[in-house]
Every structure is written in structure tokens, then in C-alpha cells.
Amino acid sequence: MQDLFADRRQQKRDAAAPLAVRMRPRTLDAYAGQKHLLGPGEPLARLIAADRLGSVLLYGPPGTGKTTLAELIARRTDAVFVRGHAASAGVKEVRQVLDAARQRLELDGHRTVYFLDEVHRFSKSQQDVLLEDVERGVVTLIGATTENPMYAVNAALVSRSQIFALEPLSERDVAGVLRRAVADEDNGYGGQGVTLDQDALAFLARASDGDARRALNALEVAVLSERHAAEEGSADRGPGDAETAPVRGFPPVRVTLGAAEKSLQRKALAYDRAGTEHHDTISAFIKSVRGSDPDAALYWLAKMIVAGEDPRFLARRIAILASEDVGNADPRGILVAAACFDVVERIGMPEARITLAQATVYLATAPKSNASYAAINAAIADVEANRTQPVPTALRSARNRKSGDYKYAHAAEGGVSDETYLGVPTTFYTPTDRGHEVRIAAYLQWVKERRGA
């Protein structure tokens, strides 16, 4: 465990550090988010508690707590923590870290945690130097990366490490981080006369896109800006003007929604991801695609993207649209939607906005049909409302029918036999006269004539 003097030196350095650094939690209990890894009984939590953690790769978006988690692991495991950055660390530096780790282990039994930020930028030669000592346990490597390590990190290093994926913080988690920053008297703004309006808090929590560092940086910018404005106002105040008393040497400030918007250089939209605006906007998007208006559809899509809507939610709605409103009028629509969903999962935002836009435009400009949607609804209603039809004898599995009962369609002229497939005349699917369904309608009419119906 780091000694008392080291902790005090760190505290002095932190006092001059940005708010996001000062507010880094010093215990796992204060760590925000990642309950799927650190909640009771979860795998990473168990490994840390048992002090059995080997080398790991922490993979996730910026501001999700990768560096903080690595430092907390070092504190909990009584290890010496060595920080490095894969973009600047050379082979010589890596060898020095490994040599020191060996000496430390041999002399007093202390282990070393070697934290490497942006580990995906590590060169092949650097990774080769690390491999043997990582495998032998001389160092515990904790690599942090925003890239999927299965694609971006050397396979040999991946095979010697456990991969833990960190998720963007929820709005609730980010809001909690901001509240603590305002209330914390040691590292934040507690006792300094700083108040944060509720709508400003909600905006920062939403607009930070799950990035706690970004939210804290924005709060710090807003507070510093408001303090500067308050100090200028105090200098301009006349002898008879009222003056607000400073708190612990700081002018009291209020962070409003306007100040929060300026700190992020981003406008707050009237949009709640769980409320009326969410439902109304996605409804407008769906109806615009259905109505073949690509420009309106793109506008509503853009509104949701700017408001921080989950891109996976948008991709799911696009997939539903492809079947419900385009259907077999353009069978390629569902392929475009499926590809869109896959790309969104693989690359994420902000690049995925382009794929979402492409799929939106494709579906909005495609011929429309809800025939499949209407057909399955009609079939389900029939099954639920009427007596269930028995499977015709000829269609049953081979062991439950007589040999020769079934009329094999491929053996019939034109590939269409006069077999009965339901037992009662019923029509659920009626193709439209649009797009590919024109050909489907013609084919079904030909089949009907072949059967002599």
C-alpha cells in the first residue's frame, strides 16, 4: 500500500489539478458506474477482493473510469503503481520498469502494477518485451484502451490478459458525480458558495454522453466563468450597491442552464430520453420515413443524435421500419437495416451517425409496403380467435404420414403442385402494387392459376 507520505504528496499535487482529477474516487465504494463489473458478486469485484487479479485490458469510451479503476486496483492489491502511456513509452523505458519490478519483487515481495494508457498504440517490439514478465507475474499489466482489444491489441498480449468492457456512465451516474463535486469540501466546490441549477445538472449529465471527465470539465469551466463575471461585477459596483459576501474567499456563483450550455458549447434541446419528447420525436422520425420524406426524417434523426439518444435504439427502430413499412416492396431494406445495426455496434458514435443517415435515406426513398406487417397480425388474430387447424396429413413429419401422401413441389411442373397446405381457404398476405411486390403479386396469381383455383 502506498505510504502516508506518498499519499500526502499526491494530495498536494491533486490540489492544483483540474476538478476531474481532484474528484477521482479514492475507494471502490465511491467509484461511479460499471456495476456489471464491480457490483456484489461480479467477476472483477471478486478478483480484486481476493487479490487474485492478473493482467487485464480495460476497454471502453473516454471518461468511463479506466485510469481511476486501475489506480484503485493498485491501492487495493498493495501493489506499487507505475503509470505509462503507450504512445510515448519506448523499449528502454519498458525495460526499466520491468527491471525495477523484478528487484522490488525479489527484495521485499512487493508486486508492481504497470498501467499503460492507450495500450493499443503499443508497438510490436514493446509488446514482445513485456510478454515474458507479464506471463510470469513479475508485473501485473493493466492496459486501458478506447479500441476493441480483440482488433487493436497484439494477440499474444490479449491471450495473456482478461478483457473487461467498461460502459458509458448513465445520466444518473454522471449527475451523481456532479452533485458530489459541488458538495465535496476537500476536492470540489463544497463550502465555496457554488450552486448548480437542476436543469443545468440534467443538461450536463445528458450532454456529456456518459463521460464523467467531460461533465466535470464543463462544470469547472462554468464555475470559473461565473466567478470571473462575479469578480468583474464586484469591481464595477458603486459604493451604494449591495454586495454579496464571498464564501471562503470565493464569490458565490450559480451555474444556470445557460452557463452549462456555454461551458459545453452545446445547446440544450427540449428532449428527455425517457419522456414525452423522446416518444414524440421517434414517432415523427418513423412517420417521416413511412411518408417518404428523407429530409424530415434526417432532421428528426439529427435532433435525437444531438440530444444524446442511444444509437442502438435508433438502429433498432430502423430495423423495425424496414420490415413494417418497406417490407417486400424493397427486400434489400432489411439488409441495409441489419448492416446499419451491425456497424453501429462495431464503431459507435460519432461515426455511426453516417450509417444511421444512410439507412434512413434508403428506407425513406424506398417503395413502401406494410403487407407483411398486416399479414402476420391477421394470422395471429386468426390463431387466437378461431379453432386451431390440424396439420394436414400430407404435411406431417415422415413418421406420422403414409409414404407418398406428400406432393413434392420440385417434382411438379413449374415447381408448383396442387398440394393443400392449410386445409381451409384463407388469405393473410396481399401484396401491394408497389416495388418488388408487383412481381410477387404476379407470381402468386400464376401459382393460383397453376393450381386451378
> Any idea what the Cα angle at residue 263 is, between residues 261 and 267, rounded to 5°?
25
Is residue 428 packed enough to be buried (19+ CB in 10 Å), middle (13-18) or exposed (0-12)?
A: middle
Which helix or strand (DSSP H or E) is residue 287 part of?
helix 276-290
Q: What is the pLDDT of residue 140?
A: 86
Q: What is the pLDDT of residue 300?
A: 95
Q: What is the pLDDT of residue 390?
A: 86
Q: What is the pLDDT of residue 297?
A: 97
Cα 364 to Cα 172, 226, 298, 358, 360, distances in angstroms: 35, 46, 10, 10, 6
What the chain holds in terms of domains, given with CATH numbers, is 34-165 (3.40.50.300), 171-235+246-264 (1.10.8.60), 276-364 (1.20.272.10), 387-450 (no CATH)
Q: State how far the Cα of 304 lies from the Cα of 281, in Å rounded to an integer.
A: 7
Q: HEC string of 371-414?
A: HHHHHHHHHHHHHHHCCCCCCCHHHCCHHHCCCCCCCCHHHCHH
Q: What is the pLDDT of residue 313?
A: 94
pLDDT tens, residue order, the chain (453 aa): 445 555 555 555 555 789 988 888 887 778 888 888 888 888 888 888 777 778 889 988 888 888 888 888 877 777 788 888 887 877 888 889 899 989 988 888 888 888 888 888 877 777 788 888 888 888 888 989 887 788 778 888 888 888 888 888 889 999 999 999 999 888 889 888 899 999 999 999 988 878 888 899 999 999 998 888 877 765 555 454 445 555 556 788 899 998 998 888 766 566 666 667 788 899 999 999 999 999 999 999 999 998 888 899 999 999 999 999 999 999 999 999 999 999 999 988 889 999 999 999 999 999 999 999 999 999 999 999 887 888 888 888 877 666 667 888 898 888 988 888 888 888 999 999 999 999 999 999 999 888 875
Q: What is the pLDDT of residue 318?
A: 98
**Continuous H helices in 109-159:** 124-136, 149-152, 155-159
The answer to whether the predicted template modeling score (pTM) of the entire model surpasses 0.75 is no
Q: What is the pLDDT of residue 438?
A: 95
User: In one letter, which amino acid is 294?
Assistant: P
Rg (CA), the chain: 31
- Give the burial string for 250-287 (b: 16+ CB within 10 Å, else e): bbebebbbebbbebbebebbebeeeeebbeebbebbbe
Q: What is the pLDDT of residue 241?
A: 45
Non-local CB neighbours of 130 within 8 Å, separated by 6+ positions: 94, 98, 139, 141, 157
Closest of 131, 130, 126, 144 to residue 58, by C-alpha: 144
